[in-house]
């Protein structure tokens, strides 16, 4: 009979397999680094959008022109080994 009384003679249930596993510090660090990277990218895109809203078309293409020189240096350094 299963009524609403407190029965202290019942055996405790075994822990379920869906219990959360302990979080390792390295996983937390990796997640924090990923979050920082995503927030940095989001901040960059938001600032770029704000610049386009303020200064218009020049703010849209000037960062791309600046990145061309940086990418050229990166490609040359990769090629030289």
Beta carbons of 67 and 74 less than 8 angstroms apart: no
Under the banding of pLDDT at 50, 70 and 90, the label for residue 80 is very high
Using only C-alpha atoms, the chain has a radius of gyration, in whole angstroms, of 28
- Select from 33, 58, 32, 59 the least CA-distant residue to 48: 59
**What pLDDT is stored for residue 64 in this prediction?**
87
Query: Helix H segments across the chain?
Result: 25-55, 57-80
- pLDDT 10s digits, 6-37: 666 665 566 566 666 676 777 888 888 999 99
Place of tokens 């703010």: 59
**What pLDDT is stored for residue 69 in this prediction?**
93
- pLDDT 10s digits, 28-78: 888 889 999 999 999 999 999 999 999 999 998 998 899 999 999 999 999
Question: What secondary structure letter does DSSP report for 1?
Answer: -
């Amino acid at each position: 009979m299963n009524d609403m009384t407190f029965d202290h003679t019942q055996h405790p249930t075994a822990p379920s397999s869906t219990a959360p596993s302990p979080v390792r510090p390295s996983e937390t660090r990796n997640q924090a680094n990923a979050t920082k990277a995503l927030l940095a990218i989001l901040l960059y895109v938001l600032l770029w959008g704000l610049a386009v809203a303020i200064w218009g078309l020049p703010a849209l293409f000037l960062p791309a022109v600046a990145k061309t020189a940086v990418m050229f240096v990166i490609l040359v350094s990769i090629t030289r080994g």
